[in-house]
Chains A and B, each alone.
Chain A
Amino acid sequence: MDHYFELIIAAIFINNILLAKFLGCCPFLGVSKKMDTAVGMSAAVVFVLTLAGVITWVVSRYVLVPYNISYIRTLAFILVIATLVQFVELFLRKSIPVLYKSLGIFLPLITTNCAVLGTAIINIQEDYSLLETIVFSVASAVGFGLALVLFAGIRERFEITRIPKALEGTGIGLVTAGLMALSFFAFKGMV
């Protein structure tokens, strides 16, 4: 039990997927201008990242490794993720239209979110078991969501703040992200 707790804390705070591992920076800067889009994106990522983690683990364990074709892992994983995203989109539109409406526009963007592919590859590289994969994927996605939502909260304040002309837009966003990463750094000693 302790082991899983450690895995969760480490994935959310210490090795935060965004601020310490730099995975998923494009949506981080792209959709963090407004709070509700940030929340929508986070929810979509939690959903897809967990599913993708499990499916790529199964594909790797039962297809790639037995047939000795691990070298096409990148190609196989990105295809699985792209198909999965498309499938999730179709499924949600048919069966849970409310959820589809709130996640809809973010789903296609997730295919090129490197947090998803990155976590899938980390799961394999670290040789996680299926349960560990699930725990790690959920925790990583929650870490992503936490950083994104916090960042969106700060970024909304920029609207009413005077910012040096040269730093406007992405520049100040990156510096802010740096300071956020610094505060997440303080968790380093926890586990």
Chain B
Amino acid sequence: MSTIVSEFTKGLWKEIPPFRLVLGLCPVLAVTTTMENGLGMGLSATFVLVCSNVLISALRKVIPDEVRVACYIVVIATFVVCVEMITKAYFFQLSESLGLFIPLIVVNCIILGRAEAFARKNGVVKSLADGLGMGLGFTLSLTVIGIVREVFGAGKLDLLFGDTVFIAEPFDFLQQAPGAFVVLGLMLAGMNILGRIID
């Protein structure tokens, strides 16, 4: 039981993507202009990660070693197509603003990385915990970056149920492409300092 809990919690702090595991940066940089987009992207990726982790771990004895990466890609792509259709049907606004980055979940290194590094060696329950932890960690990071960029870049925060809070004078740079790199770089540095203090 304790191993399952620790598999889950490691994704939330010790190996939190994308800060500790510097993988899958493209969506992190591209869609985090607002909190809502960050959260939506994070949850979509979490869904794919959990499903693919569970299925790959269930099939781990069936998948031949030589073609395993191709098999993983097929499994992941199938779930991504599901997410594409679900967001188009029920969250149209979100699917418009995430655009290209929903199909690109297929090539998100975190998902393939967890399949290769974890799900193929561990049981279904453990893989579920791992996927859930990593996914929620990823969602958390994206949401926080989204909040930072929205609050300081646009000077407001759109709460999920329609209210908008105006907070600061907008600093447009953070909403644009160069700002994304700088915000992530500085947050990474912040995480390093925080990590050193806690350890």
Contact of B185 among A26, A73, A113, A174 (CB under 8 A): A174
**Chain A residues within an 8 Å CB radius of B80:** 74-75
Residue among A19, A164, A177 with most chain B CB within 10 A: A177
Q: Are B192 and A78 in contact (CB under 8 A)?
A: no
Q: Is B193 an interface residue (CB 8 A)?
A: yes
> Which of chain B's residues 141-178 have a Cβ closer than 8 Å to chain A?
176-178
- CA–CA, A24 to B109, complex, Å? 11
Instruction: Please tell me if the beta carbons of B81 and A75 are within 8 angstroms of each other in the complex.
Output: yes
Kindly state whether residue B58 has any CB partner on chain A within 8 Å. Answer: no
Q: Does A99 lie at the interface of the complex (its beta carbon under 8 Å from any beta carbon of B)?
A: no
A153 within 8 A of B: no
The verdict on B104 contacting chain A, using a C-beta distance below 8 Å, is yes
Supposing A170-B22, A178-B182, A181-B177 touch, asked if A118 and B104 sit within 8 A by C-beta, the answer is yes
Q: Contacts A118-B100, A164-B189 given; indicate if A178 touches B179 (C-beta within 8 A).
A: yes
CB of B107 within 8 A of chain A? yes
**A74, B189: Cβ atoms under 8 Å?**
no
Q: Do A166 and B193 have beta carbons less than 8 Å apart? A: yes
Smallest CB separation, A39 vs chain B (Å): 22
Which of A82, A121, A167 lies in contact with B189, CB distance below 8 A? A167
- Count of B interface residues, CB-CB < 8 Å: 41
Cβ of A177 and Cβ of B81 under 8 Å apart?
Answer: no
> Cβ of B5 < 8 Å from any Cβ of A?
no
Q: Which of B85, B112, B185 contacts A71 (CB 8 A)?
A: B85
CB distance from B101 to the nearest CB of A (A): 9
Distance in angstroms between the alpha carbons of A49 and B48 in the assembled complex? 26
* B residues neighboring A (CB under 8 Å): 22-27, 29-30, 69-70, 73-74, 77-78, 80-81, 84-85, 100, 103-104, 106-109, 112, 176-182, 184-186, 188-190, 192-193
Given pairs A112-B107, A113-B107, A164-B189, 18 additional interface contacts (CB within 8 A): A26-B23, A26-B109, A71-B84, A74-B80, A74-B103, A75-B78, A75-B81, A78-B73, A79-B73, A82-B70, A111-B73, A112-B112, A117-B103, A121-B103, A171-B192, A175-B185, A179-B178, A181-B178
Give the 8 A-B CB pairs with smallest separation, nearest first. A174-B185, A178-B181, A178-B182, A181-B178, A175-B185, A22-B30, A25-B25, A166-B189
